[in-house]
Structure 1
Amino acid sequence: LEAIGKKPLSGDWVPDWATPEKAIEAGLHYRQQIEQASDDYDPAEGLNPGEAAEGAPESEREHVRSVVTDLVLEASETLPSPADGTRYFKTVMGVVDGTTTPLGPLLDRWERERDQTISKASRAMDAAAINHFAAYVAEHEGQTLGITVKDPMQHLRAKGLESLELRMLGGFTEWLLDSAGLTAKTVGSRVSPLKMFWDWCIRKHIISGPNPWDGATRGLKQQAAQQGKSRPKRREFSETELLAILKADPDQRRWAWGQAIRDLMPLGLLTGARQNELCSLTVDRVVQVPGGELLGIGVIEEDAKNSNSIRRVPLHPLVRPIIERRLAAAIATGEPDAPLFPECKPGGPQGKRGYYFSKRFTDFRRDVLGRASDGLVAFHSFRKCFGTYMRRAAVAGVSECQLSVAQKLMGHKPQTITETTYMEAEMPWPVYEAAILGMVDKGLPESVRAALNQKAHTETFKDR
């Protein structure tokens, strides 16, 4: 067989119908046939009414189950090794008898429910957790059972929920920390979805409690805090760093994405918006509030990190030309929801428009500030600058730049019950306008303001 390019009848080879997924499909098919069979069937022909042959099935359902058992047994005996045959028989008959509940269909049901209540970001975390768990189960069974798993996810989906031993589940956290090399904080985010999935299974009465993941993350917060002490904290750009990256011209260096980098930096600095919020701007998210003097941008639920992030932010006159230029180009496409940054294509597990831009900005930042800036500053540092300059302006006497207004503009949750329960959800637009204008006037370093002024004049001249 090997000589003619076929798979040998030994080693890891199994026929397609014997793969875990196919075994589950067979079990579900046979189970449906058995459930549809009648309870009134009398298989003993030629006997008096009510009389049954010794050892014969007493109903059509029992007869069908007997036939199914024989078929599955015969199929299992044709497999290359006794271990393969035993595994196939147990998988199929476990589904038939209801003693094995395959994870695949359960995960599909759970994910459909989750899609209705959580964000794309949370769903991506679910997927990451299941992928890591699949890799762990495959590695664990490879070591303990001596089997080779080619597709960990397919293998996991074929596993019976009841077959996952507590001792194996208990080693997952340790595996994530040691073998997968994840930080304690990330480990917590991988275990949490599994705990929620098991909670869901318990609520659906698929399994009984207690949840085996209860307490699995105990101690991780302390580990994360300890790990955090050894890592530098992400901070805002210094004045020198800001001037360096604002004055560096991406088009004259070796990067693509030059125009996007040049446009998004001032927008990030003067709106405090997150990277993906800016990259995802479309024609209909540029707003002109009735009676307002400044143009604004809107962050909708689709791109918001959470419900507090849904907001509108005024645009300072220094960055308005950027939006107007890109808005005109987007409108010219004729699409009502055309993106303002079409070069920012969706990417990554969550399909975010900021995914690829993040990588290109990292290249740009390293080239201008050096690799020593890794872990210290990133595009998010513009947002930190925004918060810092808001506070400076408030100290300088701009009352509209107080903390409660800055929280609204940055999309942060109010910190007190008074704010969340007894105060208006949105402040008047003129308050936000005054905060943006005051932040630039009283909070921004004069050198940075001058650099942005020069940049704005250059852009306006180019447009003309």
Structure 2
Amino acid sequence: MLPQCSHITKKRGVFYYRRRIPNTHTGEIVLSLRTRVFRVAECLADGLDQEFRRLIQGVTTDDKTDLPTILRTYLKQRLDHDMWRRADTPHAPMFGSPVPGKSHASVDLEWIEHELAVARGELAARAYNQQRPLIDEVMEAHKVPEQYRNALAHGILQANVEMWETVRRRTLGEFTPIREAPLRADVRSAAAVEAPTGATLTEVLPAFLDYAQKDKGWRGQTLAQNKASYRMFEQCCGDKPVAAYVKTDLTKFYDLLRALPQLYSKSKEWAGLTLEQIAEQTKGQDIQRLTMTTVKRHFSALGVFFAYLKRRGEYPGENPAYGFEFPTKGRARHGRDMWEGEPLARLFASPVWTGCLSKDRRSRPGSLIIRDDKFWLPLLGLYHGNRLEEFAQLHRSDVRYEDGIWYMDINAEDQKQLKNEQSKRRVPVHPYVQGLGFIEYVKSVAPEPGDRIFPRLRPGGPDKKFGYFFTKWWTQYRKNIGVYNKKLDYHSFRGGVTTKLSAANISLDVRNELLGHEGQSIDQQNYLKGLPLRMLADAIACVNWPEVQIARVAPGRNLKDSSCPAASSGSSDVA
């Protein structure tokens, strides 16, 4: 009697293994088992069946699209990144900043619970479009046909939920087995690994820099600084095929940067020496070294470069520039204080806002309140926290009205300069600033859409920024009125707004949207845009400064606006 198994047949007394090829494939496999004994045939068929299933899983369709493998790789990469991040930040929260009175794990768990809720919500809603940039990147990297877009998107939504659930378990101290593959890959003998080949650093850089200038808007000082980062990296680690750079190369560069003197490129004493020679020659000397801010800037440039290579499939594995720490001392890690209390009150009780002597003598008391860039830019910074250049380059068309709300549209149109893609946003005009007459000022000085709101500002400096000469005036003015502190500059307004929003329990997503910050999660970085304007307006209204008391100027008082002739770009305006 023949066995009850469709994969075993008998012909002329000999058993055969027979399987039809599934799905869209045609034909069948027929192999002689070369035995007349059923038990032997059964064992042989079982082995062949296992091998058949293993092979057929890798050939699921004619286009060889293997979504399960792609999704497993995606999940593994994200979990591996989490593991390395934990190893790199043993004494601090992985997400956000330390909070007094809270353990690092508690800070992390709050963040993780939020991200997990977002991931579950997206999965439940099948929010495939929320993942479009990531899906496009994965489809391009793995050559996934368009018909699998939704299936891939759904799989990634599921993987995101699984990833955050695993991260949560790890944070709670629940055991997660360490996968062996990543560890084995790190300790393999160099002789057993074929040396990577392909285009070298200097061969790839021209195309990358062209991309960075066209797509990321690198120019002027930003472009020059990042080019210097790549030159230094090449001098330190050599001009190798880009796929050959590994984490230890970046570690070597990190250590070198921390050892370099702050003036390594300017002192004649070190002219003609390599970076390694300068570091060795100055070892043990009591001199200032590169700040961690500078080191971080170099690594940021490298991170962008390797991310570009990964998207193009030219670099395997994790981005080697990620995972480094850039510690600074205590609360001074940001290098700035916050405007508040007496210094803030003294600043806005000074002649620019209470009455100055003349246009060219702003720091001397008088009867004139001149409402131009010098009057408005500090107020805009204090109540909104934007970067100076975002205000300085505004046009009339950028101040808009929608659903009863006046707002500033921060965009890169008309060759405006923005720090990054996250800088594009809508910022409602603060009620206090409106009460001081800002909207009336805009309508008066810039009646046409293409008119500049601050027409007296002229571009200057390496990047031709409209805030360049204002910054020089701002420094001198603060010195003249006795409130100068090198840690209290225009950018300090930004930190003040962040603090006020946090104190008002405004959510991190809203804070990031208002300030143009890049979120730390993938969702925040790529997909969270377009929050309701009313939500943003309610949030910005929470920024209050009781120290600032500026009277609204009555009509007919000695008031001048920025329609007065533009001063020479080199004028100090602070006599």
Given the two structures, how large is their TM-score scaled by the length of structure 1?
A: 0.53
Indicate whether 1:184 and 2:299 are aligned.
Answer: no
Bigger share in helix: 1
Bigger share in strand: 2
Q: Which residue of 1 aligns with 2:559?
A: 462
Specify the code of the residue in structure 2 equivalent to 1:374. Answer: K
Alignment partner of 1:271 out of 384, 395, 420: 384
CA contact (8 A) 1:409 1:432 kept: yes
CA contact (8 A) 1:283 1:330 kept: yes
Alignment partner of 1:359 out of 468, 472, 480: 472
Q: Which residue of 2 aligns with 1:108?
A: 206
Specify the code of the residue in structure 1 equivalent to 2:515. Answer: M
Structure 2: distance between partners of 1:348 and 1:381: 21
CA contact (8 A) 2:457 2:466 kept: yes
Corresponding residue SS for 1:311: strand
Residue pairs, 1:326-337, within 5 angstroms: 326-331=442-447, 336-337=449-450
Indicate whether 1:385 and 2:490 are aligned.
Answer: no
Specify the code of the residue in structure 2 equivalent to 1:182. Answer: L
Indicate whether 1:411 and 2:526 are aligned.
Answer: no
Specify the code of the residue in structure 2 equivalent to 1:313. Answer: P
Q: Which residue of 2 aligns with 1:84?
A: none
TM-aligned CA deviation for residue 198 of structure 1: 7.1
CA contact (8 A) 1:311 1:411 kept: no
Alignment partner of 2:396 out of 283, 294, 307: 283
TM-aligned CA deviation for residue 278 of structure 1: 0.9
Indicate whether 1:374 and 2:489 are aligned.
Answer: no
Q: Structure 1 residues 130 and 456, CA, compared in 2 at 3 Å: closer, same or farther?
A: same
Structure 2: distance between partners of 1:459 and 1:433: 31
CA contact (8 A) 1:270 1:316 kept: no
Indicate whether 1:234 and 2:336 are aligned.
Answer: yes
Residue pairs, 1:26-175, within 5 angstroms: 106-120=204-218, 124-131=221-228, 134=231, 173=254
Given the two structures, how large is their TM-score scaled by the length of structure 2?
A: 0.44
Structure 2: distance between partners of 1:259 and 1:439: 26
Q: Which residue of 2 aligns with 1:153?
A: none
Q: Structure 1 residues 174 and 311, CA, compared in 2 at 3 Å: closer, same or farther?
A: same
TM-aligned CA deviation for residue 287 of structure 1: 0.5
Q: Structure 1 residues 304 and 246, CA, compared in 2 at 3 Å: closer, same or farther?
A: same
Corresponding residue SS for 2:408: strand
Q: Which residue of 2 aligns with 1:439?
A: 542
TM-aligned CA deviation for residue 428 of structure 1: 4.4
Q: Which residue of 2 aligns with 1:73?
A: none
Alignment partner of 2:438 out of 298, 322, 329: 322
Give structure 1 stretches of 5+ with no counterpart: 1-98, 141-158, 396-400
Q: Structure 1 residues 308 and 173, CA, compared in 2 at 3 Å: closer, same or farther?
A: closer
Specify the code of the residue in structure 2 equivalent to 1:130. Answer: K
CA contact (8 A) 1:279 1:341 kept: yes
CA contact (8 A) 1:330 1:340 kept: yes
Q: Structure 1 residues 419 and 328, CA, compared in 2 at 3 Å: closer, same or farther?
A: same
Q: Structure 1 residues 361 and 459, CA, compared in 2 at 3 Å: closer, same or farther?
A: farther
CA contact (8 A) 1:276 1:303 kept: yes
Alignment partner of 1:427 out of 513, 524, 532: 532
User: Which whole-Å deviations, capped at 9, do the CAs of 1:391-412 have from their partners, x for residues lacking one?
Assistant: 56x48xxxxx666555443334
User: Which whole-Å deviations, capped at 9, do the CAs of 1:176-225 have from their partners, x for residues lacking one?
Assistant: 431434223322322453576578689989xx9899x986787x51xx31
Corresponding residue SS for 2:431: coil
Structure 2: distance between partners of 1:274 and 1:391: 19
Structure 1: distance between partners of 2:525 and 2:207: 35
Q: Structure 1 residues 232 and 380, CA, compared in 2 at 3 Å: closer, same or farther?
A: closer
User: Which whole-Å deviations, capped at 9, do the CAs of 1:57-111 have from their partners, x for residues lacking one?
Assistant: xxxxxxxxxxxxxxxxxxxxxxxxxxxxxxxxxxxxxxxxxx9989877533221
Structure 2: distance between partners of 1:419 and 1:391: 17
Corresponding residue SS for 1:345: coil
Corresponding residue SS for 1:312: strand
Indicate whether 1:297 and 2:297 are aligned.
Answer: no
Q: Which residue of 1 aligns with 2:572?
A: none
Q: Structure 1 residues 216 and 114, CA, compared in 2 at 3 Å: closer, same or farther?
A: closer
Corresponding residue SS for 2:409: strand
Provide the aligned length of Structure 1 versus Structure 2: 319
TM-aligned CA deviation for residue 281 of structure 1: 0.9
Corresponding residue SS for 2:345: helix
CA contact (8 A) 1:296 1:313 kept: yes
Structure 2: distance between partners of 1:296 and 1:314: 5
User: Which whole-Å deviations, capped at 9, do the CAs of 1:129-175 have from their partners, x for residues lacking one?
Assistant: 3235547989x9xxxxxxxxxxxxxxxxxx9878xx99999875555
TM-aligned CA deviation for residue 285 of structure 1: 0.3
Residue pairs, 1:224-263, within 5 angstroms: 224-227=326-329, 233-250=335-352, 252=357, 259-263=372-376
Structure 1: distance between partners of 2:378 and 2:555: 15
Corresponding residue SS for 1:120: coil
CA RMSD of aligned residues (A): 5.0
Q: Structure 1 residues 434 and 230, CA, compared in 2 at 3 Å: closer, same or farther?
A: closer
Specify the code of the residue in structure 1 equivalent to 2:213. Answer: D
Structure 2: distance between partners of 1:428 and 1:420: 20
Give structure 2 stretches of 5+ with no counterpart: 1-196, 265-288, 364-369, 562-575
Indicate whether 1:313 and 2:428 are aligned.
Answer: yes
